[in-house]
Amino acid sequence: MKEKIEQYLREVGQYSETGAEQVEAFRIRFLGKKGLLNDMFEEFKKAAPTDKKELGQMLNTLKSSVQDKINSLKINTGDKGHHLELNDLTLPVDFTEAGTRHPISIVRNQITEIFARMGYTVAEGPEIEDDWHNFTALNFPPDHPARDMQDTFFVEHNKIHGDIALRTHTSSVQVRTMENNAPPIRQIFPGRVYRNEAISARAHCMFHQVEGLYIDKGVSFADLKQALLVFAREMFGGETQIRLRPSYFPFTEPSAEMDISCNICGGKGCNICKGTGWVEVLGCGMVDPNVLENCGIDSKIYSGFAFGIGIERMTMVKYRINDLRLYFENDVRFLQQFEPVY
């Protein structure tokens, strides 16, 4: 066997054919499934134990020599294999189409970047929440409709933590942040939320939010309005106007809904803004003192504001999408219209 390996080593060293077909035949002869090296390794198994160390080293040398010879021959024939040079301008162009980012991801990233420039950091929390973080700490009374089965996906009832449910808003992360951090707090909370709603062009049982929270000494409603005006103009253009309408949320007081001037008709009235010139985009308000106290923050010293942005709604306004279900159907024709990934 030793003499046979030495013979093959001489043959490999002397081989000089450069044609592509001859090189491939050489490769198959030695490295193919029925090649000489496979036969040699089968024969090696039957060798005497005292000879196996030397024979094993010789076989490995033979295998390496064959592979090195093939690589060098491929370079000479123009087939560079794994030795491609990235700066070779003669190589053919790869016309493979790049994928695209999902519109929800695009808008979420834009919102995050805008608030990051305003000094907000990002925090995330669990999507399965207990009653305290999802409802009670946020000032929801025991008989509030949001607690009913028709609005919430309940998972189980726990003796220690009460009802366990899929979170209905990312406000639950606000509670966790206030419980574990002393003011000043300036954070946003992006994530998926769930509500037991019928799926239609305007509603879905799963959607995405970015909520924001700012708590410090002397924070006022004027600070909230200015932050949201800056956000709206960064998002939709410098000519965008906002208006705040009184509303109600259990966790903020006073509360408001924010509309932006319709960027499609310029405020003149169209089917998107229903002829009003305004489009509702988010809810906001000053954090209720009860919520601050529930989270261990002294409401006599600190105040703050919070806001919640529906990413699906924001995306519909930005890209003029008229059916919310398109976000979840993975239709390539729809997704290819958005920003490519490079």
Q: What is the mean pLDDT of residues 122-147?
A: 89
Q: Is it the case that residue 94 has pLDDT exceeding 70?
A: no
Q: Is the dihedral of CA 240, 230, 312, 131 positive or negative?
A: negative
Which pLDDT value is given to residue 309?
A: 95
d(CA 32, CA 25): 9
Average pLDDT of span 180-209: 91
Q: For the domain with range 103-335, which CATH number is right: 3.30.930.10, 3.40.1440.60, 3.40.1440.10, 3.40.50.720? A: 3.30.930.10
Residue 176 scores a pLDDT above 80: yes
- What does the pLDDT read at residue 186? 96
φ and ψ of 216, to 5 deg: -165, 180
CA 125, CA 114: separation in Å to the nearest integer?
21
Dihedral sign (CA 135, 138, 139, 140): negative
The more confident residue out of 24 and 161 is 24
In DSSP terms, 210 is beta-bridged to 190, 309
pLDDT-derived band of residue 108, with 50, 70 and 90 as boundaries? very high
pLDDT at 243: 94
pLDDT at 83: 46
* pLDDT exceeds 80 at position 80: no
User: Residue 8's pLDDT is what?
Assistant: 81
Count Cβ atoms below 10 Å from residue 207 Cβ, excluding itself. Answer: 19
Q: Does 25 have pLDDT greater than 90?
A: no
Structure confidence at residue 263 (pLDDT): 75
Check: CB of residue 77 under 8 Å from CB of residue 20.
Answer: yes
Question: What mean pLDDT comes out for the span 54-63?
Answer: 81
**149: confidence class by pLDDT, cuts 50, 70, 90:** low
Residue 156's pLDDT is what?
Answer: 85
Give pLDDT, residue 242.
93
- Residue 82 in this model has a pLDDT that exceeds 70: no
pLDDT value, residue 150:
65
Give the residue-averaged pLDDT of 62-67. Answer: 82
Residue type at 150 in one-letter notation: Q
Nearest Cα neighbor of 312 from 302, 293, 326 is 326
- Domain boundaries of the chain, sorted by first residue: 2-83, 103-335
Indicate the average pLDDT of the chain.
85
Q: Are 267 and 259 in contact (CB under 8 A)?
A: no
Residue 84 pLDDT level (bands cut at 50, 70, 90): very low
Asked which of 89-103, 232-246, 252-266, 294-308 is least confident by mean pLDDT, the reply is 89-103
Whether 265 has a pLDDT exceeding 80, the answer reads no
Establish whether the linkage from the previous residue to 254 is cis, with ω within 30° of 0.
yes
Residue 154 has pLDDT above 50, yes or no: yes
